Structure 1
Amino acid sequence: MTKRIEVAGLNAYYGSHKAVEDISMTMEPRSVTAFIGPSGCGKSTFIRTLNRMHELIPGASVDGSVALDGQDLYGSDIDPVAVRRTVGMVFQRPNPFPTMSIYDNVAAGLKLAGIKRKGDLDAIVERSLRGANLWTEVKDRLNKPGAGLSGGQQQRLCIARAIAVEPQVLLMDEPCSALDPISTLAIEDLIALLKERYTIVIVTHNMQQAARVSDKTAFFNLAGPGQPGKLVEIGDTETIFSAPTEESTADYIAGRFG
């Protein structure tokens, strides 16, 4: 079952510096929520709080709550590693494990989870590569290095690796920023398919991409240099792009700043 994400009063820090302030929002199951806003407004910091990757940075901390179907991910009894298995992440640049084959890249998380039987691994690897729309391109070279694929194929391999462990949520931090237009379109098509099974959150600087792939859009901004990023507004993507409530949202979408 895919999960609803509910964030309430969230603040994120790097040491004593507050990077994002008082964010509250809900991200619905089987939908795509896009985060937009100028560089430095906390979008990538915030998305990393949703699967507890932010706290892996020395000195980083979070207060407030992030709940999956009502369960607080920052509760004292919650295992952060289990959170990151439930809430998968795809990063800005494709990062396949360079010394591993295509097959082993996808199987890596499965093996860590204790799945050892080759028949089980084979089935899940194929299913995950099909889910990432990559199987037909790589099925005859599964033992070749993952790093030997094109950039767009590498990113889809990373998506296959993320979905192999069957998360309920998939976070994507600018997944197309390092890709050419054809590869970008392939990822966008894939997002449309994946949202049937996952709650998807994507950070993007591409306004057209946000408009194409997302159901809801959240606009972030900051008052000035050194100030924390804040959520300005969130709403249906069509409304945010055609009739936003806040003037700053309209100015950003129109390209007047950022």
Structure 2
Amino acid sequence: MAKRIDAVDLNVYYGSFLAVQDVNIRIEPRAVTAFIGPSGCGKTTFLRTINRMHEVLPGAYADGKILLDGDNIYDAGVDPVTIRAEVGMVFQRPNPFPTMSIRENVLAGYKLNGTRLSKSDADAILEKSLRGANLWNEVKDRLDKPGSGLSGGQQQRLCIARTVAVEPSVILMDEPCSALDPISTLAVEDLINQLKEDYTVVIVTHNMQQAARVADKTAFFNIQGTGQPGQLIEYADTKTIFQNPENEQTLNYISGRFG
């Protein structure tokens, strides 16, 4: 199910502004890759190009290629909606649909795509997804209660269950623990380690300790000055990035000299 991601000569624009410049990276399947770097360096912008989410902003576009197992998601005729089903996104703040029950939240992707499910199929997907998000035992007796009634950490795991329910190949996470307490953060990090058994997982984080805990590989992004584009500076095994980086900018960032 998991797919390899290749960015080839990727540039990302907001209108005439070049936000991210010349990214070339290979992200392996069934692994966790973390993007780190100071605010405004293009981490989230690049993340959003992987499922074409950046295009929802007027004037935003990309040139170059993003390949999923060799297929360019930016080829003419490729439907962005299809890509967003293949490449799921978990956002910074938990965002369960407030008027929907836990059950309806998990199955929302099927409803939005107009897919009709039998009750038995829906129940099977519901349980599998909630178990996959380590949430089933906590909510199995209140599936028809509002998803917004869960705790913050439970809401984030509900959003992850909603993402995995449609069986994507890739799961993108944009600072998924930044709004959570330490106990909830640990639960989500444990889940991330389990998800990589079946998915390609890419996470943006400002928490370098979190990157060190969960990521197999880490990419460091930086910006050379105000108004300059973000750039990929170094990409390697996480242990190498944090213990023996090749680039002085990487060393300065992880040692706290800036950022």
| TM-score category of the 2 structures, normalised to the smaller one | over 0.9
Asked if 1:142 is matched to 2:143, the reply is: yes
Structure 2, unaligned stretches of length 5 or more?
Answer: none
Output the amino acid matched with 2:4.
Answer: R
Asked if 1:256 is matched to 2:257, the reply is: yes
Asked if 1:72 is matched to 2:103, the reply is: no
Output the amino acid matched with 2:45.
Answer: T
Q: 1:203 matched to which residue of 2?
A: 204
Q: 1:20 matched to which residue of 2?
A: 20
Output the amino acid matched with 2:257.
Answer: R
1:11-38 CA distance string (max 9 Å, x none): 1111111110000000001000000000
Q: 1:179 matched to which residue of 2?
A: 180
Q: 1:231 matched to which residue of 2?
A: 232
Report the secondary structure of 2:107's partner residue: helix
Quote the offset at 1:112 in angstroms. 2.8
Question: Contact 1:110–1:121 at 8 Å: present in 2 too?
Answer: no
Quote the offset at 1:203 in angstroms. 0.1
Q: 1:154 matched to which residue of 2?
A: 155
| CA–CA separation in structure 2 for the residues paired with 1:108 and 1:239 | 40
| CA–CA separation in structure 2 for the residues paired with 1:58 and 1:149 | 34
Q: 1:35 matched to which residue of 2?
A: 35
Asked if 1:164 is matched to 2:170, the reply is: no
| CA–CA separation in structure 1 for the residues paired with 2:249 and 2:112 | 45
| CA–CA separation in structure 1 for the residues paired with 2:221 and 2:258 | 13
Q: 1:245 matched to which residue of 2?
A: 246
Question: Contact 1:32–1:213 at 8 Å: present in 2 too?
Answer: yes
| CA–CA separation in structure 2 for the residues paired with 1:115 and 1:93 | 29
| CA–CA separation in structure 1 for the residues paired with 2:116 and 2:241 | 44
Quote the offset at 1:168 in angstroms. 0.4
Q: 1:59 matched to which residue of 2?
A: 59
Quote the offset at 1:66 in angstroms. 0.1
Output the amino acid matched with 1:111.
Answer: K
Report the secondary structure of 1:75's partner residue: coil
Q: Percent identity?
A: 70
Output the amino acid matched with 2:192.
Answer: I
1:90-125 CA distance string (max 9 Å, x none): 000000000000000001102233133111111101
Quote the offset at 1:256 in angstroms. 1.0
Q: Where do 4+ consecutive residues of structure 1 move more than 3 Å?
A: none
Quote the offset at 1:77 in angstroms. 2.3
Q: 1:104 matched to which residue of 2?
A: 104
Q: Structure 1 residues 116-125 or 90-99, which shifts more?
A: 116-125
Aligned length: 258
CA RMSD of aligned residues (A): 0.6
Report the secondary structure of 1:63's partner residue: strand
Q: 2:94 matched to which residue of 1?
A: 94
Quote the offset at 1:78 in angstroms. 1.1
Output the amino acid matched with 1:120.
Answer: D
Q: 1:216 matched to which residue of 2?
A: 217
Structure 1, unaligned stretches of length 5 or more?
Answer: none
Quote the offset at 1:128 in angstroms. 0.2
Q: 2:133 matched to which residue of 1?
A: 132
Q: Structure 1 residues 108-117 or 135-144, which shifts more?
A: 108-117
Asked if 1:117 is matched to 2:118, the reply is: yes
Q: Structure 1 residues 71-80 or 109-118, which shifts more?
A: 109-118
1:58-106 CA distance string (max 9 Å, x none): 1101100000000000001211111000000000000000000000000
- With the length of structure 2 as denominator, give the TM-score of the two structures: 0.99
Quote the offset at 1:217 in angstroms. 0.2
Question: Contact 1:94–1:158 at 8 Å: present in 2 too?
Answer: yes
Report the secondary structure of 1:94's partner residue: coil
